Amino acid sequence: MSGFAGIVRIAPSAESDELDRLAVARMARTIAFRGPDSLQQSNQPGASFAFSFLKTGPAPQSDSQPVALDGTVQLIGDVRLDRRNELVDRLAQHGRHPEPGVTDEEIILRTWRLSNEARGYRIFFEELYGDFSFALWEPGKKELHCFRDVMGGRPFYYCAADGMFSFTNTLKTLHDAPGFAPELDREYIGDFLLHSWCPRPESTVYKSIRRLPAGHWLTFSPNGVQVRRFQNLPIEDPIFLKKDREYVEIYRDLLEKAVADRLPRGPASIFLSGGMDSSSIAATVCSLRKKAGAENRLHAVCSDLEPLFDDEEGRWAAKVAEHLGIGFELSHRGDRTPFSGLEDLGGCFPEPLANPFRAIYIDLYRRSSAKSRVVFLGYGGDEILTGQTGAYLVYLTKRGKFLRVLADVAEYVTTSRRLPPLRAGIRSWFRRRLGLADVEPQFPSWLVPSFERELDLRKRWRELQRTEPGVHPVHPLGYRALAGTGWPQFLDVEDAAYTGLPLEVRTPLFDYRLLCFLLRLPALPWCVNKEIVRRAMQGRLPQAILHRPKCPLAKDPLLLHLKKGNWHMDQAGNPSPEIHEFVNWPELLKRGRVEPDLSVWTDMNPIALDRWLKVIEKPEPIQ
């Protein structure tokens, strides 16, 4: 994942240009780890940029930035586009004929110019899919246009103040930018302590640094900063095909396109489990390379939680790797107690991170980085293929499709010998009526009262517990998860800024084309137990994997470590002075002495925040 940074000013001067040149030189050093292939800095009146290049492919990349076609528009950023051939054909239809080997960056510039000439941005927005965060600088107009893809596959951070705008894909880089102040965003801290992350899409841990939300377009100009959404996942009616094999063929074709657009020509790595998501990606990589007659240079890494408990996930992953004939590394990490191993990372995370077992993932990233520059993750496979069929059956009933309802349910019952899982909340309703409902999460008792009152955190707690109504008629849970603020921030945590490695994460199951198809997929039978994936992988994965039901983690590692006495909260050490403004530390430790249950995960949030406060590098004391 290449690194980029920049500073632009509306009314520059010779003095500000020199200050920005020095600032960008410092910023360049902080993004150097992202791109070992080259590190560049450029300066012009009113604009200074830095770029570190990581060559990954498969598409041609611009190895020098900013990129400009005619001098009127300059691009700097990190770009990987889907549907390159379609985009080139679309440009050709409008009289633009890119030369062979055109880079993704040049495609964006040509499409932007065409959109401007068409006196609108419709073409640009309709055609642009992939993983990207980039800025387009138009010096003649004094306008900067910034974009982040719809799923948030690439981060984008910025500071804006007094006619100046600094931006980057590496949050720590902005510590060296004009406009940065180390004051913490107290609303972010409140959300983090309650929720383990902050659902406010524009917020970061620093008040002076903002995050560009996924699918949004930011404009910085003499009129100030404007942020608006330019792209979202569509809401469309289900698609009904005549034959089942048509669904399978379309899914397999779209999955192959999603993987092919992300598959480097050289080696690649994958986080492999024994489930369907990562296994289907690995099988598709192998199939594509076999068709191309290319060497299968895919390396799989996996961790299980043995010897903490008998964790069979590694054994299932090994079966997949053996069947596909790919390299495989399994590490046992059950001895990793909460927050252990983080001290070996050589620095701190850009923002607080509540996962007490993050060191296990960092180890997997390091193993992947030793083999390749691209690693595949199976994220996204659970969102639509949840098995929720209640909304789909209601959709059909409201439209008078009673025969379809009867036929779909009857076929499912005949095939699986059980009723379809409605997932409509009926079971929870009955449990509440019978007094059997699970214990609801409790508001933390360890918050400092003054901090709690300042932000009205009890009200915020209720807001965070509330479930928003579904807007998708067939896949309300999946759409809410995919279109919400969670995944973009979770993907930020998988970014190179958190691993410190020149390694690019790619998530084929978040491919826009694939998601649009899945959102139109009839829930019965295709979304129950990932039926569409299992049929598409016939002949590519072992039958044992295809028939294995989805299995959540067998046991909770945090609860096990606590109950076995392997770790307790007192081991968090002496708290930082700053944490006492937010957390009553003695009350937190008191909570740790009670019988642990699932609510103990919330108690990890203040410990994670405290660890971050202890090691964060700050030019000035935290305010």
The dihedrals phi and psi of 200, each to the nearest 5 degrees, come to -75, 110
Question: What's this model's pTM, rounded to 2 decimal places?
Answer: 0.94
User: Once rounded to an integer, what is the mean pLDDT over residues 212-240?
Assistant: 96
Q: Report the SS3 class of residue 130.
A: strand
| Amino acid letter, residue 201 | P
pLDDT, tens digit (0-9, with 9 covering 90-100), for 295-343: 999 999 999 999 999 999 999 999 999 999 999 999 999 999 999 987 7
- From-to residues of CATH 3.60.20.10 in the chain: 3-229
Q: Residue 609 pLDDT more than 70?
A: yes
Q: Which two tokens stand for residue 48?
A: 């200074």
Hey, which residues does 3 pair with through a beta bridge?
52
Q: How far apart are CA 574 and CA 352, in angstroms?
A: 18
Which residue intervals of 66-131 are DSSP H helices?
Answer: 84-93, 104-117, 122-127
Question: CA triplet 572, 575, 578: central angle to 5 degrees?
Answer: 140
For 179, 252, 298, the CA distances from 274, given in Å and listed in that order, are 47, 20, 16
Q: Residue 618 pLDDT more than 80?
A: no
CA-wise closest residue to 9 among 125, 163, 196? 163
pLDDT at 612: 93
Q: Which two tokens stand for residue 158?
A: 């910025």
Query: In which order are the strands placed within the sheet that holds 157-161?
Result: 38-44, 47-53, 3-9, 164-168, 157-161, 210-211
What is the CATH code for 3-229? 3.60.20.10
Q: How far apart are CA 188 and CA 459, in angstroms?
A: 15
Q: How far apart are CA 448 and CA 439, in angstroms?
A: 24
Q: How far apart are CA 606 and CA 610, in angstroms?
A: 6
Q: How far apart are CA 66 and CA 72, in angstroms?
A: 12
Which is higher by pLDDT, 45 or 552? 45
Q: Residue 90 pLDDT more than 90?
A: no
pLDDT at 309: 93
Q: How far apart are CA 532 and CA 248, in angstroms?
A: 6
pLDDT at 551: 72
Q: How far apart are CA 261 and CA 340, in angstroms?
A: 37
| Amino acid letter, residue 107 | I
H/E stretch holding 256 reads: helix 244-260
Band (pLDDT 50/70/90 cuts) for residue 203 is very high
pLDDT at 120: 60
Band (pLDDT 50/70/90 cuts) for residue 74 is very high
pLDDT at 11: 95
Q: Which two tokens stand for residue 511?
A: 């491919």
pLDDT, tens digit (0-9, with 9 covering 90-100), for 377-386: 999 999 899 7
CA-wise closest residue to 606 among 619, 587, 621? 587
Band (pLDDT 50/70/90 cuts) for residue 345 is low
Residues with Cβ within 8 Å of 71's Cβ and at least 6 positions away in sequence, in order, are none
Q: How far apart are CA 411 and CA 422, in angstroms?
A: 15
Band (pLDDT 50/70/90 cuts) for residue 99 is confident
What is the CB neighbour count within 10 angstroms for residue 210?
22
What is the CB neighbour count within 10 angstroms for residue 433?
9
pLDDT, tens digit (0-9, with 9 covering 90-100), for 360-373: 999 999 999 999 99
What is the CATH code for 244-384+475-546? 3.40.50.620
Contact 262, 506 (CB under 8 A): yes
Q: Name the CA radius of gyration of the chain, rounded.
A: 25
Residues listed for the chain: 623
Q: Residue 60 pLDDT more than 90?
A: yes
CA-wise closest residue to 479 among 427, 511, 507, 516? 516
Q: Residue 425 pLDDT more than 70?
A: no
Q: How far apart are CA 369 and CA 301, in angstroms?
A: 11
- From-to residues of CATH 3.40.50.620 in the chain: 244-384+475-546
Band (pLDDT 50/70/90 cuts) for residue 100 is confident
Q: How far apart are CA 602 and CA 248, in angstroms?
A: 41
Q: How far apart are CA 101 and CA 98, in angstroms?
A: 8
Residues with Cβ within 8 Å of 151's Cβ and at least 6 positions away in sequence, in order, are 131, 214, 215, 482, 487, 488, 491, 507, 510, 512, 515
pLDDT at 346: 55
The listed range with the strongest mean pLDDT (133-137, 405-409, 543-547) is: 133-137
pLDDT at 418: 84
What is the CB neighbour count within 10 angstroms for residue 253?
14
What is the CB neighbour count within 10 angstroms for residue 181?
14
User: Once rounded to an integer, what is the mean pLDDT over residues 523-550?
Assistant: 93
Pairing of strands 216-221, 143-148: antiparallel
User: Once rounded to an integer, what is the mean pLDDT over residues 415-422?
Assistant: 83
pLDDT at 598: 74
Task: Give percent of the chain above pLDDT 90.
Answer: 79
pLDDT at 127: 79
CA-wise closest residue to 542 among 385, 320, 380? 320
What burial class does residue 556 get, using C-beta atoms within 10 Å of its C-beta: 0-12 exposed, 13-18 middle, 19+ buried?
A: middle
Contact 504, 54 (CB under 8 A): yes
Handedness of CA 144, 145, 149, 150 (dihedral sign): positive
Q: How far apart are CA 127 and CA 114, in angstroms?
A: 12
Pairing of strands 268-271, 374-376: parallel
